[in-house]
Amino acid sequence: MRKFKIPSIPPTTNKCVRFPNDVIENVEKAIQGKDCTFSAFVVEAVRVALENLEEE
């Protein structure tokens, strides 16, 4: 399983997604002071989750 690391900003397409407030707060805390946006963090998390599903 690949270890999650906070990514730099990749090129993206806008997609609207609703998140629970506690998830937003936790992500914002995790990226605070880092060269990372909320969107970039979520994209990397989804990529890792998809890889994990493929490994199962």
What residues does each domain of the chain span? 21-55
User: Closest Cα partner for 27 from 43, 9, 12, 50?
Assistant: 43
Q: How far is CA 9 from CA 1, 44, 53, in A?
A: 23, 10, 24
pTM over 0.85: no
Spatial distance between the Cα atoms of 24 and 20, rounded to a whole number of angstroms: 7
Predicted confidence (pLDDT) per residue in 5-51, tens digit: 887 766 778 889 999 999 999 999 999 999 999 988 998 999 999 99
Please name the residues in contact with 41: beta carbons below 8 A apart, sequence gap of 6 or more: 6, 7, 27, 30, 31
